[in-house]
Amino acid sequence: MFRTQCNELIPEYEGKVAHHNQQSATSAKRVVDTNGLLDDAEEQLGLTLANIDELGRLLVTGQETRDSEEAAFAIAMDKARQALAALDEAISLISSMQAGRSFIQVKSRIEEVTSKL
């Protein structure tokens, strides 16, 4: 009786074993595929980190360039303001001389303005 019952269960268990073997093979393939994807992802991560480092260096270099250009611009603007102020003063001197002041009266101011230009 037990032997008959066992003989009846064998095909069912053989089917289950075949099914589980197939699932195991599928799982093994997924592991291989996942490891390949992981390798690709790690490679991409390495490239991304290298790009981030490079961008960081470029940002620092760009900021340094901007800072030096800003300083040069500030100097140029200061010189331009000084030149404009000297020109305003020169125009004022010319107006004074047209109004009748003599060269001797404005000579020291003329020398001062000339040295600024």
pLDDT in tens, the chain (117 residues): 677 777 887 888 888 888 999 999 999 999 999 999 999 999 999 999 999 999 999 999 999 999 999 999 999 999 999 989 988 888 888 888 888 877 777 778 878 878 877
Would you kindly state where each structural domain of the chain is located, as residue ranges? 2-116
Q: What is the DSSP letter of 99?
A: T
Give residue 74's pLDDT: 97
Give residue 110's pLDDT: 78
- The answer to whether residues 100 and 83 touch, using CB atoms and an 8 Å cutoff, is no
Give residue 20's pLDDT: 92
Q: Which residues contact 93 (CB under 8 A, 6 or more apart)?
A: 106, 109, 110, 113
Reported as type and span, the H/E element at residue 117 is: none
Q: What is the pTM of this model?
A: 0.53
